[in-house]
Amino acid sequence: MVKEQPTEGFTPASSQQLPHLLDAIPHAFLFIDNDGVILHANASAAASIGTAKHELPGNTLWQCAPSLVTPTFYQAVVKAIHTRQPLDVVYRSPITQTWLCVQLSPTGEGLAIFFHETMEPTRHQETFGQNEQMYRDLLESFTDGVAILTPEGLILDINQRPLADAHLQRGEAIGKSYADLPAWSYDPAVQRQLRAAIEQASRGDTVQFEARIRPRTGMYLDVSMIITSHRDANQQVEYLICAGRDITKRKQEETELRTLVDAIPHFVWIMRPDGTAEYENQRWCDYTARTPEQLQGDGWLQCLHPDDRQLVREAWKTAIRTDTLYEVEYRMQNGNTGAYRWFLARGMPLRDAQGTIQRWIGTCTDIDEQKQAEQRLKDGEERLRQSQERANLLMTSSILGIFVAEDEQIVEANETYLHMTGYTREDLHAGKINWVSMTPPEYAIQTQQARQELAVTQRVTRYEKEYVCKDGNRLPVVVGGVTLRLDPLQVIGFVLDNSARKELEQRKDNFISMASHELKTPLAALKLQIQLVRARLARQGFHKMAADLARVEESERRLERLIGALLDVSKMQAGGLEYAQETVDLEALLQEVTAAMQRMNPGYTIVVRGTPLPMLEGDRDRLEQVFTNLISNAIKYSLDAPLVEIDASASEEAVTISVRDHGIGISRDQRAKIFERFYRVADPSQKAIPGLGMGLYIVAEIVKHHGGTITVDSEVGKGSTFRVTLPLKGATG
């Protein structure tokens, strides 16, 4: 490499012949001041950078020369300016993918930069290049967005994740202010938040914050940002590392959770470790007639009876000191009536990986009636005795298994329950019956949810599970229950033996599977014989007979589809229905299905409207089955209204296809059941409509496998609309 090094006494601004001298230099040349502002550039530099020569002076190097900028180059420039020592560096440009050989020569007024492309790095340079490639590979391996910034916030390097989101090329971002990228500049408040974080990080602090960004129009992301600083040997901040993790899904889940919490009929709260309020659900706000802002911090204490406030503070201190659950009773004022009622507050801590308490989450249960009942205990003794007598009569049931449990231990049970599970009364008295140990692992979460429902609502919706009996066998059961007491939790449970129904369902499934398989072979032979005979009749000129046989063939095809549906149902029940994974042209598929259905039903008009549909990942044949079934149903249930309307729409995440008929409609109480296996609407007017009630069950299972949803809107006498929504990312199963 030729080294035209300027000396310490060289002053570019003092030479009238400078432009001619610079253009005569065989290598690209830039001269910058100590702040990185370009003072001079020769024609070779301008050509290499791809910018007109007169546009370079007065602009910063980092903004004008993205093809040169990498963290390696930036570190070399900063080092040469600070040490005033010449420095050579060889690296590969991530934009042009060419090797650059750069010589940095400090002068009295700034830094002279000579650079040119090189094709044959030295051995030392090859090693450096390998390290540079390892750095690039590492940067691109992050699923998060990562950018390397100057302390002033200019982009030195950035991986593809944020560029892809914003539809930007790397050259459009390098040298620009990170805060000026579209993701941050769309909202001045968000932009100010980022700039303040960069300024703080440039002082050596690690900064974390969350923000909502917009990489491009119509696309919003919630991100968790962390900005850390990298220091040089002198402990000066050399550059910043800015990483952003996509937390959009978590934010959506938090919003959904809060929406769900607002809907439940109990007071739910989240407190900070010191007992100050962070969140109260809408029920609490409505009861106290206060806004969430008024309840924040210690504001919620103002809703309590003055005599109970100190008790509540002491309960917090005790829970924190003893590391136990928070539990306290207090009176809270109804903000609308002014009356006080008793509540039981119970909370549990949420900890991080190190065991440190981050939040307390809990509920407030209205126990005013219980407190009043305590005062009326003496008057209620007779009613309690009568209730116990009725309970004793119930316990003697020979059909219903009944047990009483305190926490996890079953402390009482009738003979029917003991007979079901195989335990003896001696086992019961010895404390050997525990509902947790009797619950198979696959039902553990469901059973725990039922227990939580009991704690919140004092009752549990009946659900199906299995018991592991004393002899190790499993018993299918239906379980329900109500809370008898909260402290300690005491529950009375009701159990029905479900084995007979399960066995009957299994026999039915086995029969369907066996019958379907047995019918396939003779049906295939029949199909072949019909085709051969029809072809022979056609060749011999018996066209009318061939046409008659074609109608027989159509009946055979309907039977074939029916058997196929039965097999699909059988496989779905066994979890063995196979799905292909392929790219599906949904627009073409829908056109094919509607055209085929139109040919088969010339008396109907099938109208398709909407936007063109994109490609998606899934099973083409199964999706064809979905839309064929929906259109067939629309025709089947609208004999007097021969119009079927199909509307299609698409977003960046999903496609939605609606199939609407103007037929008999579905009543409200039947809509929740139409996707059940073998369900047929019980209406005398529909007796003549063929079918076994499998179609919509199969449709729902296929849509569910593809990660989608299917809903129905209907009004009796005015028709039905089935709406299928499919994610563009394809099947989740």
Angle (CA) 327-330-336 rounded to 5° is 130
Greater pLDDT, 131 or 703: 703
List CB contacts of 628: < 8 A, sequence separation 6 or more: 593, 596, 597
Mean pLDDT of the chain: 80
Please check whether residues 626 and 553 belong to one and the same domain.
no
- How does DSSP assign 29-84, residue by residue? EEEE-TTSBEEEE-HHHHHHHTS-GGGSTTSBHHHH-TTT--HHHHHHHHHHHHH-
* Domain identity same for 241 and 227: yes
CATH code, domain with 537: 1.10.287
pLDDT at 357: 81
The reply to whether 386 falls in a domain is no
Whether residue 110 sits in one domain with residue 159: no
520 and 603 in a common domain: no
Q: How confident is the model at residue 84 (pLDDT cuts 50, 70, 90)?
A: confident
Q: Is the pLDDT of residue 9 over 50?
A: no
If asked whether residues 14 and 45 sit together in one domain, one would say yes
Residue ending a domain, choose from 517, 542, 574: 574
In the prediction, which pLDDT does 525 show? 62
83 and 190, same structural domain? Answer: no
46-55, 201-210, 212-221, 704-713: segment of lowest average pLDDT: 46-55
CB 192, CB 199: distance < 8 Å: no
Euclidean distance between CA atoms 699 and 205, whole angstroms = 56
Kindly tell me if the per-residue pLDDT of 127 is higher than 80: no
Specify whether the backbone of 491 is left (phi greater than 0), alpha (psi in -120 to 50) or beta. Answer: beta
Residue 8 has a pLDDT of 40
Cα atoms found within 13 Å of the Cα of residue 63, Cβ hemisphere only:
17
Comparing 256-265, 508-517, 663-672, the range with the smallest average pLDDT is: 508-517
Is pLDDT at 590 greater than 80 in this prediction? Answer: yes
Q: Report the alpha-carbon distance of residue 473 to residue 547 in Å, rounded.
A: 60
627 vs 254, more confident: 627
Whether 329 has a pLDDT exceeding 70, the answer reads: yes
Residue 733 falls inside a structural domain: no
Identify the domain containing residue 666 by its residue range: 582-727
Interatomic CA distance for residues 49 and 102, integer angstroms? 14
State how far the Cα of 1 lies from the Cα of 566, in Å rounded to an integer. Answer: 79
Look up residue 339 and give its DSSP letter.
-
Is 177 found in the same domain as 53?
Answer: no
pLDDT attached to residue 3: 38
Helices 620-636 & 695-705 angle (0-180, nearest 10): 140
Domain for residue 388, yes or no?
A: no
Question: What is the number of domains present in the chain?
Answer: 6
Distance between CA atoms of residues 494 and 454, nearest Å: 13
pLDDT at 205 over 70: yes
Distance separating alpha carbons of residues 106 and 95, to the nearest angstrom: 27
CA 544 vs. chain centroid, Å, equals: 60
DSSP state, residue 441 = G
Q: Count of H helices and E strands in the chain?
A: 24, 27
Contacts of 501 (CB under 8 A, 6+ apart): 476
The reply to whether 619 falls in a domain is yes
Ranges of H-type helices in 233-273: 248-263
- Residue 732 domain-assigned (yes or no): no
What type of residue sits at position 406?
A: E
Last residue of a domain, one of 558, 574, 590: 574
Q: Could you tell me if 60 and 158 lie in one domain?
A: no
Instruction: Say whether both 34 and 127 belong to one domain.
Output: yes
More confident residue, 125 or 372: 372
Kindly state the average pLDDT of the residues 31-54. Answer: 85
Nearest to 484 by CA among 386, 342, 387: 387
Tell me: do 199 and 294 sit in the same domain: no
pLDDT tier for residue 6 given thresholds of 50, 70 and 90: very low
Contact assessment for residue 202 and residue 96, using Cβ atoms and an 8 Å cutoff: no
**DSSP line for 93-117:** -TTT--EEEEEEEE-SSSEEEEEEE
d(CA 179, CA 200): 14
What percentage of the chain has pLDDT greater than the value 90?
Answer: 17
Q: Model's pTM, two decimal places?
A: 0.38
C-alpha to C-alpha distance for 465 and 485, rounded to whole angstroms: 24
Name the band, by pLDDT with cuts 50, 70 and 90, for residue 656.
very high
Could you list the beta-strand ranges (E) of 5-98. 28-32, 38-41, 87-92
27 plus 100 within the same structural domain: yes
The per-residue pLDDT for 576 is 58
Average pLDDT (111-134) is: 63
- How high is the pLDDT of residue 381? 66
Assigned domain for 614 exists:
yes
Rg over CA atoms, the chain: 38
Q: 12-21, 521-530, 582-591 — which is least confidently predicted?
A: 12-21
pLDDT value, residue 11: 44
Sign of CA dihedral 70, 75, 76, 82: positive
- Residues 592-619: tens digit of each pLDDT: 999 988 888 888 999 999 988 999 998 8
Q: Is residue 389 part of a domain?
A: no
CA distance 330 to 406: 25
The residue assigned the tokens 């003893």 is 322
Write down the pLDDT at residue 657: 94
Residue 494 pairs in a beta bridge with 402, 480
**How confident is the model at residue 81, as a pLDDT?**
84
- pLDDT of 626 higher than 50: yes
Neighbours of 477 (CB within 10 A): 21
pLDDT band of 19, cuts 50, 70, 90? low
pLDDT at 379: 67
Residue 128's pLDDT is 47
Best CA proximity match to 45, nearest among 20, 72, 70, 26: 26
Q: Which of these ranges, 76-80, 221-225, 465-469, 560-564, has the smallest mean pLDDT?
A: 560-564
| Residue 430 phi, psi (nearest 5) | -85, 0
What is the CATH number for 165?
3.30.450.20
Q: What is the mean pLDDT of residues 43-64?
A: 84
Of 105-109, 677-681, 701-705, which gets the smallest average pLDDT?
A: 677-681
Single residue among 213, 246, 279 that ends a domain in this structure: 246
Domain assignment of residue 314, yes or no: yes
The pLDDT tens digits of the residues spanning 228-274 come to 888 877 788 888 989 888 888 878 877 776 777 676 777 888 888 88
pLDDT for residue 4 is more than 50 = no
Q: Residues 554-575: pLDDT tens digits?
A: 666 666 666 666 666 655 555 5
**548-558, pLDDT tens digit by residue?**
776 666 666 66
Q: What is the C-alpha separation between 178 and 162, in angstroms, rounded? A: 11
**594 and 533 belong to one structural domain:** no
